[in-house]
Structure 1
């Protein structure tokens, strides 16, 4: 029989061993395998027991296996993450082969480590009574391989299961010339091998050892479809527990439709006698957690395969496992973990910092760890590469592994510390980051937190998230978060704690933004009193508090006290902070607005010019705070009747807002109203109409509707809402 090497002739620079060829053979009932002469040894099997009656088959995969072998392929592989059913599928197919072709040898080889692999071959050598099989110094691999490679010994099927390292395929000794430098697996046209592995790349050399056609001999086993998963859960549950089909469907979806995950969940439910309808929250697996933290239960509740997987992953890439530990706290159904969060994790983990100083080396190392976890089917990346998807049951098993190691609280503490220190501000320049991390931060804050240190870190994260919510215009949510901060820090540190006072000040600002001016004044006066006592009158936080109170007084119509407080705050800030400090520039803004309302327009113009010039130097022309000052200056010019100059400033501010905040942002639209008003005062009705059409269409009749329009809008931030009624200059 001539070997089939026609596919290999064009492969230059490669060494191909043509051990298999295409042969004519007859079908063997349902499963077609090559048939040869009568067996010198009666055919036997080393298969484990077949799957029980509860097993849900995967006919599309067994059909694929049958078709590949019908086309004379002798090596195929089933690859995929742990728990998708690779081994069970291969086992079911192997039993089908044994049943349909009794004269075929069928072998099951456990290949998770060298010991199991060698023991399986030694058992086969003993069953075949091969010479030297009883000698402990004899390597059974080449003995069995040589016997099976002889076509006259009959047909055979071998399943090599759970491959983690292909080094096990090579002889321990070099006494067998045939095996030196290449695999000891048998090669014969009358035999076939099914590999199962989590890592397809480790099988590439084995799969290509004979022919290029083996490029198409790998099947990536997916999770079950929803119908198969539902059937498996129903089969695995004891009678009476599967009482709610809708909740069952929710559970199998939350478990990622992974067979092993579903079987494990059913095992726990059966043990506890818990009905599906009695589960409080299937998506979070809350009722699947062990109730007694003893060693035996820790071991039994964690799937055995994952126990081995975590040990192996830790040996290979401990940094990747550290990332997995942190990600498991924020994973969940349909939840995408921003890569930005992983960068934050890596920056704060010492093992990543060892690769170099700076963010680029950390990101390079992070990409390598992500690639490793992807290769092992632990996680996936979205198409844009900006988010990571961790299968729900992977996160659950990781948490169970940490529980088993008694390290769950330690890693939760690290997570809270990292996020509290990485994202301790809700300022404008971090809005984009908070937008990406919003869901992730909420998942962190929903964790059960017990220790004092963890609660303080959670309060820091909550305070930052409240600031972001405020800038989104979601004021009720922001207020609720701030009250949570006050409750936590007040209990732990007392009412004089500075962060507690800061949260109270933010609530006062929210009252101001929402028009609750009396509540805002009362809150801010209380905060100012505490800060003056604790920090002193010249402290920057005390001055911020005084500035906020002056703005509330201005809105309440108490112009005299408002002007006095603004002048005092500005003088102190000039002395303590300098003329270009951001807070000093804010005081110039506040004083300029106040002077306009009291009628001192010339000084108001000079003051606001100083604010604009200083913010351009310190923050840039397109910073929202700079644009806010531009609008204030334009409003003062309108009040003076300097409409041409006002038009110039409104155009400058409007151009910046349109670029930075977007055309639909309320601050942008306020500037458009101001420009329309200035143009109409100059009788430029055609230009005013064009601006109106560009920004509003036919929806708004004119500049007089500005206040009502902005008052009804919920997305504008407090930075721009503070003086909305005096920005336009009506």
Structure 2
């Protein structure tokens, strides 16, 4: 049943509070106007055309509007970000009222600026033939308001669209001085107003006006759900273009399920006669809008609406918009921005720099709340992550481009992330796991300045370290090659950060069995470090240690032992017996001795390494676990299978949690445990471990023994983390 406005606003005999101010019997006199005795005016409407047949309605919102008016509320507001369909919903409701109640005046008022607002009221005054309507010195707003405020003139519905500043509601003409300082919108028990606005706080104080019954008169319109967005895209596309439902759904999601952005995208696809299945990059919004060198004003209605919104919001909370600028570089389908990344941003923005971390988090929560209230972003249920709609990120980037600020903010983002996240060490893995997608987005940006490129190289180095520690060797190698290319071109191949990247490339060659390339690369690295840093520098000793492990893998045990003993002796003298690098040298020497057949000295050396790492790092650190596995392997070679089993179990307690089941160190521990059980003829228990880990496709004794034998010679630094430092 269509709503009947006469039923909705029939409040005769009831005392109501007006939207702005209180009813005043002398209102007309106060406006220096006197009630006019007109003949009854036949009802008319001033409305844009109704939504076309392709419009996907929002029946739940139409129902809400109907219920509010039936409950005698005369003022309601539809709020939400640009493009969610506020105006179209209000227009649909207005046409329903016009159809069901033809004796009702229905007006559409554009309130985005004063000139549109004034013109709309002057048009109404002209249609009503009110005295003075053609006098340019008379403000039409109080003229129309006075007439509509008189109940005997009939029922009316007014849609005040795109309210961005409530100043438009105030009379400014001197001949109506009595109205200055108060809103001149009409108040009548026979009339109703629907406001639409992007900013919920824009109308709130005006709507309340001391009357709490209007507190729930605001509907925050969400974006469409995926089904509604899909229906809209299907309706808007020409026949034959929507040939792939799955990719249509992807496009709707990438556009944030925003009706106007979906409609605009469909228009571009129709113009290009481009099928959905032919689109190469669903998330690339520039594919759906004019080329980037065209001015922002010509990009269409939706981006312009967002840009007006940015201007207004920046006037209210500039710091929140600064955060938005930084976040917009992360925006993408299904991408979450960890709140801890925003804490890093806030630390280095002007307003927050002198605060402690607790105060920064409190201030940051206020800025996030402001952006949420203005429909800029949402939070995940736990509040740990921020979600920025892809289209909002796109519009923000276009706004920065228009302001010629895009490169400056990009550089600022790169600097912050390089300063905050300059390590991929084990103790920061949880942090990097949350930031992985965001960091990948940063290093994928188009970067032009030398300083920005170096910051991007620092971030890439950290991400490569993290990927290496996860066992994702090919990805790590690709990232490290990017670092070498960027830093090598800018600073030369003797730059120490470039040399460190080369060293880790050599280590990756080693891990992947490319031993010839590994030896060649690591020899070159050692030569450069000895020349630039000296033979006793800790970085030089790290390279000597890595090269010794290559000789170990090549089977040249005497050369490997010689180099490990030299490195260990220098580290004991320079760094001390409890330093992490000294303990790593003990690991390397112990494993070399085991493979060379000196099992007793190997056991003593590896015991020293395990005891030192237990004290310095703790039992669950991957480095400690790696040493435990090395000692267990030596015990296995001595036939001490029961003792070895205990050590493998000890290492595996924290290994899966710290590194994951498929990390090489974890795999060595699992196979070592199976091998030790089988050597003790605990076949049933070994089989249970195999099934729990590998399922039915499992190998036998020889498989586990071979795996441990081949992989355990990699060396402790390669089974787990290599300490990569960015900066000396």
Q: TM-score, normalised by structure 1?
A: 0.81
SS at match of 2:435: helix
Q: CA deviation at 1:560?
A: 1.4
Deviates more, 1:209-218 or 1:259-268: 209-218
Deviates more, 1:187-196 or 1:269-278: 269-278
In 1, Cα distance between equivalents of 2:300 and 2:683: 79
1:257 aligns with 2:221: no
Partner of 2:424: 426
Change (3 A) 1:269 1:128: same
Q: CA deviation at 1:305?
A: 0.9
Partner of 1:528: 526
Unpaired runs of at least 5, structure 2 = 1-10, 24-36, 722-728
Change (3 A) 1:254 1:699: closer
In 2, Cα distance between equivalents of 1:549 and 1:225: 58
In 2, Cα distance between equivalents of 1:473 and 1:717: 15
In 2, Cα distance between equivalents of 1:722 and 1:186: 74
Partner of 1:58: 57
Equivalent pair of 1:427/1:467 in contact (CA under 8 Å): yes
Q: CA deviation at 1:549?
A: 0.8
CA RMSD of aligned residues (A): 4.5
Change (3 A) 1:262 1:712: farther
In the TM superposition, what whole-angstrom CA distance separates every residue of 1:553-610 from its partner, at most 9, and x where no partner exists?
Answer: 1122212111111121122222222332211221122122223333444443443333
In 2, Cα distance between equivalents of 1:263 and 1:700: 55
Partner of 2:83: 83
Partner of 1:403: 401
Partner of 1:479: 477
Q: CA deviation at 1:222?
A: 3.6
What does residue range 156-167 of structure 1 map to in structure 2 within 5 Å? 156-165=156-165
Change (3 A) 1:536 1:289: farther
Partner of 2:104: 104
In the TM superposition, what whole-angstrom CA distance separates every residue of 1:97-121 from its partner, at most 9, and x where no partner exists?
Answer: 3455443222333344567656655
Q: CA deviation at 1:495?
A: 2.1
Q: CA deviation at 1:298?
A: 6.1
Partner of 1:633: 631
In 2, Cα distance between equivalents of 1:209 and 1:146: 20
What does residue range 596-615 of structure 1 map to in structure 2 within 5 Å? 596-615=594-613
Equivalent pair of 1:338/1:436 in contact (CA under 8 Å): yes
Equivalent pair of 1:470/1:717 in contact (CA under 8 Å): no
Equivalent pair of 2:289/2:299 in contact (CA under 8 Å): no
Q: CA deviation at 1:137?
A: 9.5
In 1, Cα distance between equivalents of 2:302 and 2:75: 33
What does residue range 245-644 of structure 1 map to in structure 2 within 5 Å? 250-265=250-265, 280-288=280-288, 290-291=290-291, 293=293, 295=295, 303-353=303-353, 356-639=354-637
In 1, Cα distance between equivalents of 2:376 and 2:51: 28
In 1, Cα distance between equivalents of 2:38 and 2:103: 9
Change (3 A) 1:206 1:710: farther
Change (3 A) 1:87 1:643: closer
Equivalent pair of 2:651/2:669 in contact (CA under 8 Å): yes
Deviates more, 1:344-353 or 1:638-647: 638-647
In 2, Cα distance between equivalents of 1:480 and 1:703: 36
Change (3 A) 1:312 1:671: same
In 2, Cα distance between equivalents of 1:175 and 1:270: 53
In 1, Cα distance between equivalents of 2:63 and 2:690: 66
Change (3 A) 1:39 1:211: farther
In 2, Cα distance between equivalents of 1:16 and 1:402: 38
In 2, Cα distance between equivalents of 1:644 and 1:227: 61
Change (3 A) 1:563 1:200: same
In the TM superposition, what whole-angstrom CA distance separates every residue of 1:345-371 from its partner, at most 9, and x where no partner exists?
Answer: 222323332xx4332222222221111
Change (3 A) 1:376 1:59: closer
In 1, Cα distance between equivalents of 2:244 and 2:637: 69
In the TM superposition, what whole-angstrom CA distance separates every residue of 1:250-295 from its partner, at most 9, and x where no partner exists?
Answer: 5444322323223444566688897877754342123245437365
Equivalent pair of 2:20/2:187 in contact (CA under 8 Å): no
In 1, Cα distance between equivalents of 2:681 and 2:68: 83
In the TM superposition, what whole-angstrom CA distance separates every residue of 1:525-546 from its partner, at most 9, and x where no partner exists?
Answer: 1221222222221222211110
Deviates more, 1:176-185 or 1:476-485: 176-185
In 2, Cα distance between equivalents of 1:282 and 1:16: 47
Equivalent pair of 1:605/1:636 in contact (CA under 8 Å): yes
Change (3 A) 1:106 1:689: closer
Q: TM-score, normalised by structure 2?
A: 0.81
In 2, Cα distance between equivalents of 1:327 and 1:486: 28
In 1, Cα distance between equivalents of 2:42 and 2:64: 29
Unpaired runs of at least 5, structure 1 = 9-14, 20-36, 724-730
In 1, Cα distance between equivalents of 2:527 and 2:53: 71
In 2, Cα distance between equivalents of 1:358 and 1:117: 47
Partner of 1:30: none
In 2, Cα distance between equivalents of 1:296 and 1:283: 20
Change (3 A) 1:300 1:46: same
Deviates more, 1:649-658 or 1:194-203: 649-658
Partner of 1:726: none
Equivalent pair of 2:20/2:206 in contact (CA under 8 Å): no
Equivalent pair of 1:302/1:401 in contact (CA under 8 Å): no
In 2, Cα distance between equivalents of 1:516 and 1:576: 32
Equivalent pair of 1:240/1:275 in contact (CA under 8 Å): no
Partner of 1:196: 196
Q: CA deviation at 1:660?
A: 4.2
SS at match of 2:534: coil
Partner of 1:33: none
Deviates more, 1:246-255 or 1:358-367: 246-255
- Say how many residue pairs are matched: 695
In 1, Cα distance between equivalents of 2:193 and 2:89: 14
In 1, Cα distance between equivalents of 2:695 and 2:657: 19
